[in-house]
Amino acid sequence: MLRVLQAIWQADGAFPSGAFAFSYGIEGALALRRDMTLGDFEALVAAMLKRRWASYDRVALLWSYRAGGDLEAIAAVDREVEASTLIETLRTGSRRNGGAYLASHARLGQPLAIALRDDVQAGNCLGHIAVMQGAVWSELGLDEALAQLCSGYTAASGVITAAIRLGAMGALQGQGVLQRCLPLIEQLAAQEVPDDVELSSFVPFLDIAAARHAQADLRLFAN
């Protein structure tokens, strides 16, 4: 049961990973669609899980997980994520989030997190959040299934929490959306990820929203 408890610990929104400062494009999306209903938002979260998380973040996570602590291999995955993330605020947010995540684990004494933090500071690694999670969760002893479920849960809960903080829905409404997302996360995490698969993300509405959000005069979140 220790691995399950560690997964719960890592998925807990109270873990200091820096994610509270990022909406992953949701703030911009809500600004573009001020008439967005709860059903529209739930469909958007599902699209994000299917077309970004499952085929992009989850793939990067598993590549890093399977690197077995090899710093050069992890850095190579990090560079691929950097090169294929087109929206500047999403790139920056992913690196800052990953940096905060590493800092927390390094202060807790996790050896690989310390090595990765030093690599990021030396410029050998970039620190994208999905890549850092995959590497550290492997070292913590989570199996691939738990690592994927943890990642999917944090992705969904992150955007839902952002929407609640923006006043787009109430806390109980958000929990309802999250509850209904759980079977989808389980289904997506069960899909095989072969080693030769390519990173793929296609959520143009969120990408456009994130790009427009970067030019906003007033914003709550960094992206």
Radius of gyration of the chain from its Cα atoms, rounded to whole angstroms = 16
Token couple for 212? 């427009």
- Give the relative orientation of helices 129-140 and 71-84 as an angle to the nearest 10 degrees: 150
pLDDT of amino acid 95: 93
pLDDT of amino acid 201: 92
The whole-angstrom separation of Cα 220 and Cα 215 is 13
pLDDT of amino acid 14: 83
pLDDT means over runs of 10, the chain (223 residues): 92 76 78 90 95 96 96 97 91 91 95 97 95 96 96 93 92 97 98 92 87 67 59
The whole-angstrom separation of Cα 162 and Cα 80 is 27
pLDDT of amino acid 1: 87
pLDDT of amino acid 15: 82
The whole-angstrom separation of Cα 90 and Cα 59 is 17
Which domains, from first to last, does the chain contain?
A: 18-213 (1.10.4190.10)
The tokens 């573009």 sit on which residue? 32
